[in-house]
Amino acid sequence: MICAALLAGGIGTRLKQGKPKQFVNINNKPILVHSVETFLNVEEFDKIIVSSPKEYIDKTNELIEKYFPQNDKIIVIEGGATRNGTILNSIHYMKNQNCDENSILVTHDASRIFVSEILIKNSIKYAIEVGAASAVIPATDVIFESKEEEKLTDIPLRKYLYHAQTPQSFNIDNFLEIYDDLSEEEIDKLDEAMMIFYLRGYVVKLFSGDPVNFKITHPFDITLAEAIFKN
Cβ–Cβ < 8 Å for 207, 132? no
Cα(171)–Cα(154) distance, integer angstroms: 35
**From start to end of 65-224, where are the E strands?**
74-78, 104-109, 132-138, 162-171, 205-208
Q: What is the pLDDT of residues 10-30, one digit of tens each?
A: 666 667 667 888 999 999 999
Q: What is the mean pLDDT of residues 45-61?
A: 96
Cβ–Cβ < 8 Å for 218, 15? yes
**Number of Cβ atoms within 10 Å of the Cβ of 10:** 21
Q: What is the pLDDT of residues 108-133, one digit of tens each?
A: 999 999 999 999 999 999 999 999 99
End-to-end CA distance of the chain: 37
Q: What is the mean pLDDT of residues 45-69?
A: 96
Report long-range pairs for 149-154 (Cβ below 8 Å, ≥24 apart).
Answer: none
What is the count of structural domains for the chain? 1
Cβ–Cβ < 8 Å for 168, 192? yes
Q: What is the pLDDT of residues 200-227, one digit of tens each?
A: 999 999 999 999 999 999 999 999 999 9
Q: What is the pLDDT of residue 78?
A: 95
Q: Which residue range is the domain that position 105 belongs to?
A: 2-230
Q: What is the pLDDT of residue 19?
A: 82
Cα(197)–Cα(205) distance, integer angstroms: 11
Q: What is the mean pLDDT of residues 89-95?
A: 96
Q: What is the pLDDT of residue 76?
A: 97
Cβ–Cβ < 8 Å for 30, 22? yes
Model pTM score? 0.94
Q: How many residues does the chain have?
A: 231
Cβ–Cβ < 8 Å for 138, 161? yes
Is the pLDDT assigned to residue 149 strictly greater than 90? no
CA nearest neighbour of 3 among 81, 104, 93: 104
CATH number for 143: 3.90.550.10
